[in-house]
Chains A and B, each alone.
Chain A
Amino acid sequence: MRYAETGYNLEIDLTRGSFDKIPTDPRLTELFLGGLGTNAKILWDRVPSETEPFSPDNLLIFGTGILCGTPAPSANRTIVSTFSPQTGLMAFSMMGGFWAPELKFAGYDKLIIRGKSPDLVYLWINGDKVEIRDASHLRGKGPLEVTELIKKELKDPKVQVAAIGLAGENKVFYSSIEHGRSSASRLGVGAVMGDKGLKAIVVRGKKDINVAHPEEFMNLCNEVLQYRNFRWENPIKGVPAILAGVGSPQEMALRDEEWHTTSFSWGHARTRRKGFWTKEVEEQWNNIQDKAIIRLISCYNCPNECGALISYPGLGTPTYMMKCYSKLTYVMGAMSNDLEFGYKIAGQAQEYGMDGYTNPQVMAFAVELYENGILTDKDMPGFPPRAPDGSDEERFFWLVKKIAHREGIGDVLANGVYWAARQIGKGAEEYDHNTTKKHEQMVIKLGMLNPIYYLLYGTGEKANITQIEGQIPQVPLPKDLREEFVTNWIQIPTGKEERFKQFMMEWGDEDKVFPYYPPPDLVCDLVEWQEIMHYIDDATGICAGMSSFLIKPPYHIHNIARMVSLGTGIDISEEELWEIANRNRTLLRAINVRRGVRRKDDEPPVDHWKRRFPDYEAKLKDEYYKFKGWNSDGIPTEETLDRLGLDYVAKDLKESGILGDGKTEGALETSSGGGSEK
C-alpha cells in the first residue's frame, strides 16, 4: 500500500480526448516527494526546452503536495506547473482551498494535461469516472459563476472547481486559475489552460488517504495545532502586524494598513506616500472593510481563516472571496484614496481571472506611458481623464476591460509590462523598471541595498518574493526585543542555532548594518534557509501561511521531517528532507538554465534600492553560486548535479553545450530569453 499519496497520476490528452490512470514510481517520491518536486521532474523529462508555452506539447500539471488529504493541518496546496507565456521559464504557481485534497480523495496525486481541445471543454473527474464535457455555454463567464453553474449542472454542491475567466480564454499572459477564495495566479498558468481549450476542472472524490503511522501522525498534528494556538495568542513583537501572526497573511482580519500604504510604492511602483495613513483615512477604511467583509473563511483543514467573503450593498459586483492584499494593489496602483475602489475592481478582475499583483502594475504602467506621451489618445480612444483628486480609478476600470478582452491597446498590455514595453517601443522600455525575469515584482522601493533580499529576489526561480522569503524579520529588531525573540526559537535547522541567534542578537548594532552585514557567508545561509523551507512546503503542500512565509511558524524542518516520515512510511531525516528540497530547487534551476537563464538574469528590479553596490553585489552572487554548487554563470555544476542524483541532467546540459567539460565552465555568455521570446 502507498501511504500519504495515492500512487496514481491522471493523464489527460485533450487533443485525442483520452485519459489514462498511470501508476507512479515510488522511487520518485523518495527523491522528490510530491507537488513541485515531481512536477519539475515530469517537465524536465517530457517537455523539451524549445517547446513553446502555447504548444500542445507543453504540459499543464496540477500536482498535490505529499501531505494533502492527510490530517496534516493546512496541507491543501495545489501546485500548478507549466511553462509561462510571460517568462518562457517554468511557471510556478499554487493555490490553497479544497481542490488538492479532493483530487487525492478522487484517487490521484497529479493531473497532467497535454494537447489542445478544439472546442472549449471542462473536465469532470468523479473518482474513477472521467469525462471531458462541452463548456461552450460557459464561454466568457467568470470562475465563480462557472462554479455555481457546474454545481447545478452536476447536481452536486460538494464538487471542487478550478476555472479560468475571460482573461484565461484570451490568453492574457498573467491570467489566473481561480478556485473559490484561492487562485494560482502567477506567471500566466490560466493562459496555458485557456490555450488548451480547458475552461474548468471539476473534482469529486470519496476514497481514503492512508498514513503509515496513524497514532504518532495524529499526535504530531495535535502538536502543530497547539503551537499554532500559542502563536495565535502570542504575535511576534517588533514587526508589522501582518508579519506578526499566523496566516498567509491576515490581510482580511487586520485593518491596520499603515505598513503597506506607507512603505510600499504607489502608481507604477514610483511614489511613496509616507504620510498617507492618517487617523481620518484609518477610520474611513475601517468602516469600509467592516462593511465589505461578511465572514472570514479558511482553506481545507486550516484554522487560520485568512480569506474573506466580500459583499455589501452598492459594491457593484456580486459576492466574492478575497485574501491577501489585493484589496490594496489596485488602490495603490491607481493612486486611489478609496478602499471601496479596491474591493470593486478586485472583484471584477477576479471574475476575469487576472493576477492581482501584476494586473495593477500593468495598468499603472499604461497610465505612465500615457502621461508621458508615449501612448496617446490615438492608441487609446476614449481613455478617461484623471480624476480631480489625482486618482486613476476610471482609467483602471477602462483598462481592465480592454486587457481581459484583448481589445485595442489591451491586446498589447495583456502581455505584461516587459513584452508590452517592447511592442510599444518609442522609449517605453525605459518604463519597464519593476520586473525580474520579465515578471512584475513587489512594488517596493527602498534606500539601502539589503544583501539578503538581493539574492532572494535575484536568484529565486519563482519570481515571486512571498514564495521565497520568511523565517526572519525583514529589518533588525529593536534591541530590547531581541533576547525574547531568540529564546525558544525552535525553528532553526540543527547545527545553525548559535549562528542564527547571534545574528538576530547583533543585527542592527552600530557596525552590523546593511549592506556589509550580514557577511556574504551568513547571507547565503539565511537565504538558503528561507528558500529551502518554501521548497519543502511546495513538495508537501503545506501552506506557507503556517510554515515558510512566517516568522517562528508552527511547521519547521524538524516536525515536517517527522510528519513526512510518519505519513509516508519512508524514513526521512531532517538532512534528507533538506537534500530533497535542494534537489528540487536545483532541478528547477536546471530547467530554467536549459531555457536560457544565466547569471545576468539573476537581478532584482534596477531601482529596488537607491543605494546599489555593483562590485559587492557581484561578490554576493559569486558566493551564493559557490554555496549552491553552481558555476560563476549560475549553472549547477556536474559535480553538484551528480551529488544530488541528477546525473542525467548534467549529461543533458553537457550534450547541449550548456555545461562545459570543466574547462569552459563559467565562461559561457549565452543569449537570454525563454521559449516565447522569438
Chain B
Amino acid sequence: MRKITVININADKCMGCRACEVACSAFHASPKYSSTNPERSRIRVSYDQLNDIYLPVMGGEYTSAECNARYTITLNDKKYEECGFCRASCPSRDLFKDPDSGLPLRCDLCDNLDNGALDEPWCVKWCLNDALTFEEREEEGEEPEMLDDLEYGVRSLIDTHGLEKVVDAVTRISKRE
C-alpha cells in the first residue's frame, strides 16, 4: 500500500491573500521560519484581479525543456495566464525557481510533513478560507522514490549542463575548500 496525499484547491474560495506563499516560504527558510520571501514559495497564487482570476498552484516536477506548444485556457469566460495551470518549473518562465540560484522549487509536501511533526501542510494551515484543504488516503502500489531538495537541484543542474561538467565543477570546488 502507498500513501496518497492530495491538496484540494478550491479556486472559487481563494481571496488572494497569499498567506499560503508566506507560510510555505517561511517553512523552507533555513533555519526554519527565519525568513520570508514569496518568491521562494512552492505555492504561488496567480491572480488577475480585474478578471476575477485567483489560482493557487503548487510547484510540481521541473522540466528541462518547454512543451512544443504553450496553451491558454478560457473557463467561464475568463482567460487564464499562458500555461497558468501548469505546475512545472520550466525554462519558459520564472515561476517555481529560486530567485538566487535559479534552481527549481517544487512542493515537497512540507518535506513530507516534517517527519511527523506537522498534521497538515503549512499552506493549508494558513489558508483560513479553506481554498486549500488536505487529504490523505491509501492506495494499492509501491511508495515511489522521492528525491530530496539537494538531489533534486543537482539533477536539474545535470540536465542543464551535463553530468561531466557538474562533476568537474564539484571537484574543483572541493579542492579549493
Which residues of A are at the interface with B, using a C-beta cutoff of 8 A? 69-71, 73, 98, 105, 144, 148, 157, 180-181, 205-211, 214-215, 217-218, 225, 228-229, 294-303, 305, 309, 311, 318-321
Q: Name the segment of B17-25, B138-146, B157-165 touching the other chain.
A: B17-25
Docked Cα-Cα span, A298 to B29, in Å, equals 25
Flag if A297 contacts B46 (CB, 8 Å).
no
Q: Specify which chain B residues have a CB less than 8 angstroms from the CB of A299 in the assembled complex.
A: 17
**What's the nearest-Cβ distance from chain A to residue B12, in Å?**
8
| Range of interface residues on B (Cβ < 8 Å) | 20 to 34
Verify if B31 is at the interface (C-beta below 8 Å from A): yes
State which of B31, B37, B46, B54 has its C-beta within 8 Å of the C-beta of A207.
B37
User: Which residues of chain B in 1-42 are interfacial with respect to chain A, using CB atoms and an 8 Å cutoff?
Assistant: 15-19, 22-23, 26, 29, 31-40
Docked Cα-Cα span, A79 to B34, in Å, equals 25
Q: Specify which chain A residues have a CB less than 8 angstroms from the CB of B18 in the assembled complex.
A: 98, 300-301
User: Which residues of chain B in 69-105 are interfacial with respect to chain A, using CB atoms and an 8 Å cutoff?
Assistant: 81, 99
Flag if A294 contacts B52 (CB, 8 Å).
yes
Flag if B37 contacts A71 (CB, 8 Å).
no
Flag if A319 contacts B36 (CB, 8 Å).
no
State which of A211, A228, A319 has its C-beta within 8 Å of the C-beta of B33.
A211
Flag if B19 contacts A303 (CB, 8 Å).
yes
Flag if A301 contacts B19 (CB, 8 Å).
yes
Docked Cα-Cα span, A225 to B126, in Å, equals 8
Flag if A301 contacts B33 (CB, 8 Å).
no
Verify if B170 is at the interface (C-beta below 8 Å from A): no
Flag if B50 contacts A206 (CB, 8 Å).
no
Docked Cα-Cα span, A99 to B36, in Å, equals 15
Q: Specify which chain A residues have a CB less than 8 angstroms from the CB of B17 in the assembled complex.
A: 298-303, 305
Flag if A305 contacts B33 (CB, 8 Å).
no
State which of A73, A157, A229, A302 has its C-beta within 8 Å of the C-beta of B46.
A157
Q: Specify which chain A residues have a CB less than 8 angstroms from the CB of B29 in the assembled complex.
A: 208, 214
State which of A157, A225, A297, A320 has its C-beta within 8 Å of the C-beta of B48.
A157
Q: How many residue pairs between the two chains, A and B, have CB atoms under 8 Å in the bound complex?
A: 93
Which residues of B are at the interface with A, using a C-beta cutoff of 8 A? 15-19, 22-23, 26, 29, 31-40, 46, 48-52, 54, 81, 99, 126, 128-129
Q: 9 closest pairs, A vs B, by CB?
A: A214-B33, A303-B128, A298-B17, A208-B35, A206-B99, A214-B34, A305-B15, A206-B39, A218-B33
Q: Specify which chain B residues have a CB less than 8 angstroms from the CB of A298 in the assembled complex.
A: 15-17
Q: Specify which chain B residues have a CB less than 8 angstroms from the CB of A181 in the assembled complex.
A: 49
Q: Specify which chain B residues have a CB less than 8 angstroms from the CB of A309 in the assembled complex.
A: 49-50, 52
Residue of A nearest to B47 (CB): A157
Residue of B nearest to A217 (CB): B33
Flag if A71 contacts B33 (CB, 8 Å).
yes
Q: Assuming A157-B48, A207-B99, A295-B54, what are 15 further A-B pairs, CB within 8 angstroms? A: A69-B36, A71-B22, A73-B19, A180-B49, A181-B49, A205-B39, A214-B26, A214-B33, A217-B33, A296-B15, A297-B16, A303-B15, A303-B129, A319-B50, A319-B52
**What's the nearest-Cβ distance from chain A to residue B154, in Å?**
23
Q: Specify which chain B residues have a CB less than 8 angstroms from the CB of A209 in the assembled complex.
A: 35-37
Of A73, A215, A297, A299, most buried by chain B (CB within 10 Å of CB) is A297
Q: Specify which chain A residues have a CB less than 8 angstroms from the CB of B39 in the assembled complex.
A: 105, 205-206
Docked Cα-Cα span, A69 to B49, in Å, equals 21
Q: Specify which chain B residues have a CB less than 8 angstroms from the CB of A294 in the assembled complex.
A: 52
Flag if B129 contacts A305 (CB, 8 Å).
yes
Q: Specify which chain A residues have a CB less than 8 angstroms from the CB of B38 in the assembled complex.
A: 105
**What's the nearest-Cβ distance from chain B to residue A553, in Å?**
16
Residue of A nearest to B12 (CB): A295
**What's the nearest-Cβ distance from chain A to residue B115, in Å?**
16
Q: Specify which chain B residues have a CB less than 8 angstroms from the CB of A214 in the assembled complex.
A: 26, 29, 31-34
Docked Cα-Cα span, A300 to B22, in Å, equals 9
Docked Cα-Cα span, A209 to B26, in Å, equals 10
Residue of A nearest to B34 (CB): A214
State which of B19, B26, B50, B128 has its C-beta within 8 Å of the C-beta of A144.
B50
State which of A228, A297, A301 has its C-beta within 8 Å of the C-beta of B49.
A297
Flag if B19 contacts A215 (CB, 8 Å).
no
Q: Specify which chain A residues have a CB less than 8 angstroms from the CB of B126 in the assembled complex.
A: 225
Flag if A215 contacts B15 (CB, 8 Å).
no
State which of B34, B46, B48, B128 has its C-beta within 8 Å of the C-beta of A210.
B34
Q: Specify which chain B residues have a CB less than 8 angstroms from the CB of A73 in the assembled complex.
A: 19
28 CB contacts below 8 A, A to B, read A70-B36, A71-B26, A71-B33, A105-B39, A157-B48, A205-B39, A207-B37, A208-B37, A210-B35, A211-B33, A211-B35, A214-B26, A214-B29, A218-B26, A225-B128, A229-B128, A295-B15, A296-B15, A297-B16, A297-B54, A299-B17, A301-B18, A301-B22, A303-B128, A303-B129, A305-B17, A309-B52, A318-B50
Q: Specify which chain A residues have a CB less than 8 angstroms from the CB of B26 in the assembled complex.
A: 71, 214, 218
Docked Cα-Cα span, A218 to B117, in Å, equals 15
**What's the nearest-Cβ distance from chain B to residue A107, in Å?**
11
Docked Cα-Cα span, A320 to B51, in Å, equals 10
Docked Cα-Cα span, A200 to B39, in Å, equals 23
